[in-house]
């Protein structure tokens, strides 16, 4: 049988390839960065993803972790043996993740500087007259009086939250 054409061709050096990028990307593919610090510290690079997650007590596939019950009526079951649960060698990872998840979420409801300046300008020039604010030439987005009033109220609420802290 004849040989395949591409097999006998000699290998040529690729001058067009950026070796720095090639090596960097190869390193990233070999050991991807794990964002979660708890998982990162418990990770064993010699094991597969499934083995690592099983050791930590985490599920790789959520569909297999919590199977859906089938709607068919089954015949009479004979003492079905439950499959033994996988041993969790690193339970502290799950405990740390649960503790982190139970912390209250920070509410990042900050207003932009432009909006603060806009509201400050409007109140300085017009006081509580929202209709005059709506007719002002600085009202670039053509906000209605109700929209301007809502922005003013959001500004007041953010100031009160800062004072409470």
Cα separation, 101 vs 95, in Å, equals: 10
pLDDT higher at 107 or 132: 132
Cα separation, 43 vs 93, in Å, equals: 10
pLDDT higher at 21 or 110: 21
| Res. 119 pLDDT band, cuts 50 70 90 | very high
Residue 65, classed as helix, strand or coil, is: helix
List pLDDT tens digits, range 46-103: 899 999 999 999 999 988 888 777 776 666 665 556 555 667 889 999 999 999 999 9
With vertex at residue 84, the alpha carbon angle to CA 78 and CA 85, rounded to the nearest 5 degrees, is 135
List pLDDT tens digits, range 3-40: 666 666 788 999 999 999 999 999 888 878 899 999 99
Overall average pLDDT of the 98-124 stretch: 89
C-alpha distances out from residue 111 to 7, 44, 140, 158, 165, Å: 64, 43, 18, 8, 16
Distance of CA 132 to the CA centre of its chain: 43
Full-model pTM:
0.49
Annotated domain spans of the chain: 19-63+86-102, 113-164
């Amino acid at each position: 049988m004849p040989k395949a054409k591409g097999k006998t061709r000699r290998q040529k050096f690729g001058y067009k390839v950026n070796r720095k990028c090639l090596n960097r990307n190869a390193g990233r593919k070999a050991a991807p960065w794990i964002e979660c610090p708890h998982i990162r510290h418990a990770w064993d690079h010699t094991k597969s993803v499934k083995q690592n997650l099983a050791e930590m007590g985490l599920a790789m596939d959520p569909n297999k972790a919590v199977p859906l019950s089938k709607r068919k009526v089954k015949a009479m079951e004979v003492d079905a043996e439950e499959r033994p649960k996988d041993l969790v060698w690193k339970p502290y990872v799950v405990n740390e993740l649960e503790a982190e998840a139970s912390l209250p979420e920070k509410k990042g409801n900050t207003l932009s500087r432009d909006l603060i300046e806009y509201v400050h300008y409007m109140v300085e020039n017009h006081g509580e007259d929202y209709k005059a604010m709506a007719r002002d030439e600085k009202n670039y987005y053509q906000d209605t009086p109700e929209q301007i009033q809502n922005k003013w109220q959001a500004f007041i609420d953010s100031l009160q939250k800062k004072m409470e802290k």
